[in-house]
Amino acid sequence: MTLVVQFIEQTFRPDDQLAFGRNAELSLDPDNGYLHRQAGRFRLVGDIWWLENRGSRLRLKMMSSDGSVIDLHAGASSPILGRSGTVSLVAGPTRYEVAYWLETEPSPLGLDTTGRIPVGAETATYGTALTPRELDFVVVLARNRLTGRGGPLPSQADIADIWGVSKKTVDNTLQRLRAKLRNRDVRFLDTTEMLVEYLVAQGYVTIADLEWAALDEPDGPRPASARPEP
């Protein structure tokens, strides 16, 4: 898939990587001494584009078109969020914003047009490669990631308690999900953290899913299987 990166009047379609900063291939501002020479880098790993924070002091904020957000501290990296979004950073008194989007389909999970593929500011919110049970468990895992709060992931026991199932049911469901992804040649998902990063970044669990689940509301949690189709 082709990544397009745009800053003001500069547009790039990198082959496998693109660095941006004060003095990089994508030059944000050569006169700002607060800006790192390389503040960040887009890099293709397998079939997935990642964003890396290459600076030592600055934070990068990545926000997808569906509102999902992540803050990357120095040295951190993440798959890019969704099919389009922005990366912003503040260096001294100046804020910079870089836009990105993916031009080609299908996604690594081979979704058809009924799947969860963000287009512009719109997001299809039903009919993913995840089963309703998988989505129920993943939305708990991804809650902090979707809201940008950070922090450790919930345990399998936490997920089991929220949905009133056994810990073994949670473990089996997540193992089947990993196997399904591996069978579709999706790699780099060795840890639960990487699994969550991938599913959020590719738009298979979104803010809309979290809002529907109502995990902290009196009428929650609400299972994905009960969600009305659009």
The predicted pLDDT at position 113 comes to: 29
What CATH number belongs to 3-102?
2.60.200.20
Sort strands 17-21 and 48-53 into parallel, antiparallel or unpaired: unpaired
In this prediction, residue 72 has a pLDDT band, given cuts at 50, 70 and 90, of confident
Note the pTM of the prediction, 2 decimals.
0.53
Please say whether the beta carbons of 206 and 116 come within 8 A. Answer: yes
Would you say residue 126 has pLDDT above 70? no
**HSE, side-chain direction, 13 A CA sphere, residue 147:** 12
**Beta strands across the sheet bearing 17-21:** 26-27, 17-21, 40-45, 48-53, 77-79
Mean pLDDT in the chain?
A: 83
**HSE, side-chain direction, 13 A CA sphere, residue 101:** 13
Nearest-angstrom CA–CA distance, 224 and 160: 16
pLDDT tens digits, 133-175 = 999 999 999 998 888 777 789 999 999 999 999 999 999 999 9
Q: Where exactly are the structural domains of the chain?
A: 3-102, 132-226
Please say whether the beta carbons of 178 and 170 come within 8 A. Answer: no
Would you say residue 111 has pLDDT above 60? no
